[in-house]
Amino acid sequence: MFNSCADPATIEGLTWLLCYLTTGKHLLFYTSFGVVLLLMLITAPAALAFGFGGAMAARSHFLPLSLIGKAYTAMVRGVPDIIFFLFVPIALDQAFEYLRHKTKCPDWDQPIWQGNDFVVCAEAKLPLSSSPQWIHETYGFTLAVLAFAVVFGAFASNVIYGAMQAVPRAQMETAEAYGMSHRQSFWRILVPQMWVYALPGLSNLWMILIKATPLLFLLGVRDIVYWARELGGSKTSHFDYPHPDWRVWYFVALLFFYLLMTKLSEKVLRRITLRLSHGQATLAGEMQRKAAR
């Protein structure tokens, strides 16, 4: 990065450290923090959407829909995360490629599964093997977001389902007495009130999500933990900057990152709880009302 870093063997001390910390590999390490943050910011709303959909389906009076909603939460919550993360992206990837293969190469005469091999025509590959690496990485990232959203959505679904049941029946009865339809009372009375009950459970999920990102490497996305391990491992003179096993320092840096994330999240979550409790028929809402008087 700097001119003085051209020959690392001749420099030492602080300059060496500065050069070391600005190698291309370290820059990749720093960008991976951004990747992890981006993943959380995209996954959280996506998982919330999956969860909300699951809870609405589970509450449905239409039996098949309610069964689908309940089966979704039960199945995903029951399967260990690691198995899920290994299976879902590969299955999704093969499903996409299979569909593309069927439409793009109708006159392909060989079987798609040849023993262990999954073979589709070159045009059906997703992404194409000729596309640049960043497309492959974006695709992997998308699959990762999807897998995370499905898994965390199932947990969120159960939390939201419980929160919807927790809204006092009297509130719904009042809505019905005012002549609101089923749909109106759901969107105007139930949903705005249920968040305050869902929040403790959802905040748990958010904290778990923050710490679950190392699972990303299973999906080929190189996250902060991968780079910390890779950079910290001992380096022989095949490398420009040989050093002994420094993993502990990298993991200490990660520790501070995760603690900082936790602190920030707690701050934001406390503020949201305060906002949501406003005017609610809960203890916190009641205390706010008394304090304001």
Partner 1 sequence: MKTLILTAAALALTAGLASAQTVRLGTEGAYPPYNFINDAGEIDGFERELGDELCKRADLTCEWVTNDWDSIIPNLVSGNYDAIIAGMSVTEERDKVIDFTQEYVPPAPTLYVGRSADADIKGVVAAQTATIQAAYVAESGATLLEYPTPDETIAAVRNGEADVVLADKDFLMPIVNESNGELVVVDQIQIGGGVGMGVRESDTELKAKFDAAIQSMKDDGTLNPLIVKWFGEDAALW
Whichever of 14 and 129 has its CB closer to partner 1, that residue is 129
Of 226, 210, 265, give the one whose Cα is nearest residue 43. 210
CA distance 24 to 32: 12
229 binds partner 1 (CB under 8 A): yes
Cα 270 to Cα 49, 162, 200, 262, 265, distances in angstroms: 22, 21, 10, 12, 8
Q: Which two tokens stand for residue 151?
A: 């898994």
Q: Which two tokens stand for residue 7?
A: 């020959």
265 binds partner 1 (CB under 8 A): no
Whichever of 3 and 110 has its CB closer to partner 1, that residue is 110
80 binds partner 1 (CB under 8 A): no
The residues in 89-108 that bind partner 1, with binding defined as CB under 8 A, are 90, 93-94, 96-97, 100
Q: Please, what is the minimum distance in Å from the beta carbon of residue 32 to partner 1? A: 11
Of 139, 182, 141, 151, give the one whose Cα is nearest residue 44. 151
Among 245, 274, 286, 287, binds partner 1 (CB under 8 A): 245
**Residue 204 three-state SS:** helix
Q: Please, what is the minimum distance in Å from the beta carbon of residue 267 to partner 1? A: 29
> Which one-letter amino acid corresponds to residue 272?
I
Binding site for partner 1 (CB under 8 A): 8, 23-25, 27-28, 46, 86, 90, 93-94, 96-97, 100, 110, 114-120, 122-123, 125-131, 133, 135-136, 139, 142, 146, 217-218, 220, 222, 229-230, 233-234, 236-242, 245, 247
